[in-house]
Amino acid sequence: MAIGIKVTQWYKNSGRDLPWRETKNPYLIWIAEVILQQTRIEQGIQYYYRFIERFPDVFSLSSAPLDDVLKQWEGLGYYSRARNLHAAAKTLAEELGGKFPTTHTELIRLKGIGPYTARAISSFAFGEATGVVDGNVLRVASRILGDHSPINEQKYRKNFQAAVDSWVQGVDPRAFNHGMMDLGSTVCTPTKPACMICPVEADCVARQEGLEAILPIKSKKLKRKVRFFNFYIYKNEQAEIAIQQRPLEGLWGGLWEIPNEEIPHPQWEKQEAGSEANFQFSFKHVFTHFDMMGNVFEASSPNHANSPSYTYISTDKIPIFAFSKAVLKIFHRLGIL
């Protein structure tokens, strides 16, 4: 029996029940897929319901101010996802009349929609017979094929994509792709895979050759970069704090923040920022590609209030603005949120 049939039948009997799997609405599928990038399902479900309640369709999303979209995204991280959602929604609403393209080759032209998301929308919403390949599916495919190519290197991705594309032909694309994802999440796990209950055990080269613990292969990552910052809580005479909005592009694009500066490591180690600024604490925040080490200082001197980029707000107004997790972490540590 072909791999595609086995995976599809297994999913129909054992697949997970998730809210975005109950719809063929491309907008809802799109939102779910973007939220779940770099996000655990348990956390993502909460954001999914909150986001679609606030923006139930592409027109409500496209017409909303970007600040509102970022506020709904607050805490999820990777804020370029929210900015790209907003931009693509405008294209869909204003240029395409709210209608989604039906193939992954057309969907990928929208801002922020990459190969994975394009295939997910076209498969789950429109039934396109294309494989949806995420990290879990790469692991399953690597083991089934007995392929020693590093799955985290883009140049080998097309080979895995071609294999999954071949397996999905002639079966229900929705059931097959959901099944592959679920196999990776619940059966073909990174360690101690449950091969005895896997529907494709007999087809799996890794199982036949005893390579379950070896595959998939990942090439070694470069040493993580560490960057050092000082953050400042500046207060005016009304005890309001200074915040400023970041440029749309780059780290935390479009979000609000407290004043900060990137500094050399030796300077950061000294935990000093002038006689008027009092050191409070240090913290670490982890990004995908680097670690941030931060020092936090407080200052009430009016000398700090001169920047035209600052907006001063009372602490009870903090929930109105969209801040990064790192800045929210600072507010919580200081007891002002």
The residues that are catalytic are 33
**Coil, helix or strand at residue 149:** coil
User: Residue 250 has which token pair?
Assistant: 């780059």
Contacts of 335 (CB under 8 A, 6+ apart): none
Spatial neighbors of 103 by CB under 8 A, at least 6 apart, are: 122, 126, 128
Phi-psi region of 46 (alpha: psi -120 to 50; beta: other; left: phi over 0): alpha
Q: Please report which residue ranges of the chain form alpha helices under DSSP H.
A: 3-14, 26-36, 41-54, 58-63, 66-73, 80-95, 104-107, 115-126, 135-145, 157-168, 173-182, 205-208, 265-270, 325-334
Distances (CA, A) of 157 to 28, 122, 142, 149: 27, 19, 11, 9
CA distance 93 to 87: 10
